[in-house]
Structure 1
């Protein structure tokens, strides 16, 4: 069986495809992954022996502002994504049996069109429940389309979300569909999601709530054991003292990197703790005295988080899942998207705290850290870690190979 997986996303959105690809190969399937051309994605997939087809522009350059905005803005970038993912998936998917898509709507729309042209199964997967229409939560705002503050009915907000998605992406998607001989669609969002989307999130950390109009298939998070060793210098730092606090914000821009690093380091040191600062795409750069502070780039979070006193992060699906799985207490500083949802879940589960607002100060972060570092939070985090499912990727792989949706 041949399977093509695709994502236009940051590292946290590509990593689950690594887990699914590994499980599919274990079951004898041939797998390719269409993902952004960022070097780290290619290295990660090559490390597990999976072929990557670079597709679209660099996500890192887009997120960090190194790619100048195009004159057409979002619609033009959407049109580029639709075409890039359609064309690359068509080439990579020749003779395949199923296409799996996740990530930004225009990229997914390109994959859906490729599935129609190839006449093969198509599965859409989300890593968090809040991106899927439900009466139990509000949608996340679309680019340039804030939610109406005076509307409290979630169904009405999701109806507006469908109209917003059509307004933002409809022209790009339909122009491309017509150009390749497919009919236009009047609801891009529901077209790419389908009425039976998969939810690749842990049912303890991020459950799907019923009743719902969608037939959601929750597989569990797509995890893969990461066997990569930690850098020698980082291992030595961990061995040299008490467990430190990890600070990292992944691919999320955080304003002035030096100021954010100063605030976080001061807040951690105020608790009498050593600190590990991850550069990330945010480019955190501590300055001044470095005693008790270690700066790290790419590292195996599974191996690292379990050796920390707490993890301070932005609340992306991937980082939150890994931190929860590792049993590390968390401080989540959400910036947008699905991050406020995961921050709230961490607080609700009692495995950490949600920072109030996206811009921490030494005082606000110190207060959040006191909660996260409390003994009872560690006890709760350890208990929840034991309930996290580790078979989500295996469940999804078997569903794909068995032909189930």
Structure 2
């Protein structure tokens, strides 16, 4: 592909630099009446797609690299990398620490109360760990909304969390993923309409995730506006919603879709098979993430750009700026998996945490049905076999294979029917067909487990020290199977299309052996010593730009408004009290505006390719070989700075403020932009979902927990003066 702008090529596929254009192109959907004359379209399934886009293949050629990525019939990605001249391995210290803007290193564990939306696309196994996290955040005083599929509303609400339906059908999603393990369409899906249905579902979920950030609770009608977002990767709306609202985002991984998405030299992208590469192993692994991102972007970038342009009012992204945007912006990540299973790679720096699994205790009051209890008491511990939310294509054949293998191995078995509807009319006496039983109770009763390899089910079994057979269907599941095998706690994973009576029988014999039992026991002991949920909450807090989020007069409250006159970040409560005391008027606030504690420059051109992430390195190798070779031999020193957020008031006063200002010891506030549907100060408070304006408050004397030095002498006027002095210090840094 050339770097020139081609009217026949959709904008999201154009190789333009992030700053090459500021105009929303027609194909990004800038106008509902757009005739789409720059791109012919045809129908595939139920949504339009471009005939110029080969969703199953991506090729690029330049001065330094020829590369290709192709989708195999089962949805895996095969890549080929051919360097035109030899490059050394990436330097060992290529990955730099990230200086995250406005974080509070000393008191990050004491954030103000926030409204947090947790976005989740996937199965019950994806949702469940986030419920454990959400319940812990509620105990810390936050309001938590789980935004996911309608199928899980009852599950969410019965655990005491708010729910918002983002659309999408998890059963359809799981069925699609069985056919297309990498979320990228295989040959069958390209011809039978699956791709069209998947793209339509993606549009629905993007819109649902956005509405989850601000629409009232559907049950109580309570107002809501997100102050922060936690999301798993497949929502795809996360970074775009965070950019539109100017709020912090934490990417998080839990279960079925919890594969390592962060580029590393330690191992390739879990969905990628490397067919050929003349690059060094670490560099090849690293570039595999860029290739996977680009192939994914090729299939959904146009949908994302329509979402950005039409719904969010943001500029579109190109093939240069779209793939790998989260990596390039150094958005923080929390991997909810055990270091015992996946040690943190050295090139995952300080913005990436590996904290341990999240466990939601469901078995506290569980009592098994009488027939299940009788089966367990009747003989030795059985083996558990089940594939959870995975939709099995031929449940009868799968049932036959399982029953015969159980018979040959001479074991008893508990078989979970799940969404795959495994079971049958004739069940042997040494087999019991399960309904919905909590894994944290069930796995204490079995000798070993066999499942699809979702991280949540994997974690539940390993925590109790059970050897594990993984029969992967899609996504990250082969990765978990390999990690378990590497630890000696299970055999090599058996892809579901290769499963037969012989290899399942041998796998059962492996997990019932003494060596596997001992290896799994050791791993279980280490996992039980971890506290993933507690560490996950702290990981979320420590990456927040809290110095931009706290009210300057009462740090226990969240700042919503910026006073340019006094250079203060104010909570709704503080603003009301000051107004009542006639120390502040509505006109002195930036009316119609709301503090934006975090900014994301999604279209900013990277300063150097190494710190710009895998996609930046890929493009530089492809087109500017000489430059990247020099960087490899002499990597840049220092740290990577994240985007700053500067108060508009300061920007208006200090004309020569520059990027180095982020080194100041403290900034008051952030860039604030106009917010829709706000007519005055009161409606602004309503729009923010903060019911403080007309509400009860407990007086000025109890408002300030830790007053500024000026406030100790002169009260609130002194605090305002103190803020002004601090501003002078900042502006002269």
TM-score surpassing 0.5? yes
Is the contact made by 2:385 and 2:414 (CA closer than 8 Å) also made in structure 1? yes
Give the gaps of 5 or more residues in structure 1: none
The answer to whether structure 1 residue 293 and structure 2 residue 431 are counterparts is yes
The answer to whether structure 1 residue 362 and structure 2 residue 475 are counterparts is no
The answer to whether structure 1 residue 377 and structure 2 residue 520 are counterparts is no
User: In structure 2, what is the equivalent of residue 79 of structure 1?
Assistant: 203
Question: How far apart are 1:300 and its partner, in Å?
Answer: 0.2
Using the alignment, how far apart are the partners of 1:214 and 1:334 within structure 2?
31
Choose from 164, 173, 198 the match for 1:53.
164
Question: How far apart are 1:376 and its partner, in Å?
Answer: 2.2
Is the contact made by 2:353 and 2:539 (CA closer than 8 Å) also made in structure 1? no
Q: Deviations over 1:41-70 (max 9, x none)?
A: 2232222211211211221134347xx956
Question: How far apart are 1:310 and its partner, in Å?
Answer: 0.9
Using the alignment, how far apart are the partners of 1:263 and 1:192 within structure 2?
43
User: In structure 1, what is the equivalent of residue 347 of structure 2?
Assistant: 211
Structure 1 range deviating more: 366-375 or 287-296: 287-296
Structure 1 range deviating more: 378-387 or 188-197: 188-197
Comparing both chains, which one has the higher relative contact order based on Cα–Cα distances under 8 Å and sequence gaps of 6 or more? 2
Distance change >3 Å, CA 169–CA 209, structure 1 → 2: same
Q: Deviations over 1:136-165 (max 9, x none)?
A: 222244xxxx75622361223222223213
User: In structure 2, what is the equivalent of residue 166 of structure 1?
Assistant: 297
User: In structure 2, what is the equivalent of residue 391 of structure 1?
Assistant: 531
Q: Deviations over 1:160-206 (max 9, x none)?
A: 22321321221111111111211223443433455232211111112
User: In structure 1, what is the equivalent of residue 225 of structure 2?
Assistant: 95
Root mean square deviation of aligned Cα = 2.4
Distance change >3 Å, CA 401–CA 130, structure 1 → 2: closer
Distance change >3 Å, CA 208–CA 329, structure 1 → 2: same
Q: Deviations over 1:93-132 (max 9, x none)?
A: 943321101141xx23x23332233332111112345322
Distance change >3 Å, CA 400–CA 97, structure 1 → 2: farther
Choose from 118, 134, 150 the match for 2:276.
150
Which secondary structure does the structure 2 equivalent of 1:8 belong to?
Answer: coil
Using the alignment, how far apart are the partners of 2:270 and 2:462 within structure 1?
23
Q: Deviations over 1:191-236 (max 9, x none)?
A: 3455232211111112321124783122222222222514313233
Instruction: Please identify runs of 4+ aligned residues in structure 1 that moved more than 6 A.
Output: none
Question: How far apart are 1:134 and its partner, in Å?
Answer: 1.4
Which secondary structure does the structure 2 equivalent of 1:304 belong to?
Answer: helix
- What pairs with 1:266-305 in structure 2 (closer than 5 Å)? 266-305=404-443
Using the alignment, how far apart are the partners of 2:346 and 2:408 within structure 1?
44
Larger radius of gyration, structure 1 or 2?
2
Which secondary structure does the structure 1 equivalent of 2:232 belong to?
Answer: strand
The answer to whether structure 1 residue 190 and structure 2 residue 324 are counterparts is yes
Using the alignment, how far apart are the partners of 1:167 and 1:71 within structure 2?
13
User: In structure 2, what is the equivalent of residue 30 of structure 1?
Assistant: 143
Structure 1 range deviating more: 2-11 or 79-88: 79-88
Is the contact made by 2:253 and 2:259 (CA closer than 8 Å) also made in structure 1? yes
Using the alignment, how far apart are the partners of 2:334 and 2:121 within structure 1?
17
Which secondary structure does the structure 2 equivalent of 1:56 belong to?
Answer: coil
Question: How far apart are 1:25 and its partner, in Å?
Answer: 1.6
Using the alignment, how far apart are the partners of 2:275 and 2:350 within structure 1?
25
Question: How far apart are 1:308 and its partner, in Å?
Answer: 0.3
Give the gaps of 5 or more residues in structure 2: 1-112, 177-191, 217-222, 546-733
Q: Deviations over 1:254-308 (max 9, x none)?
A: 3311211121122123222211110111111234243111111211001001210
Distance change >3 Å, CA 189–CA 251, structure 1 → 2: farther
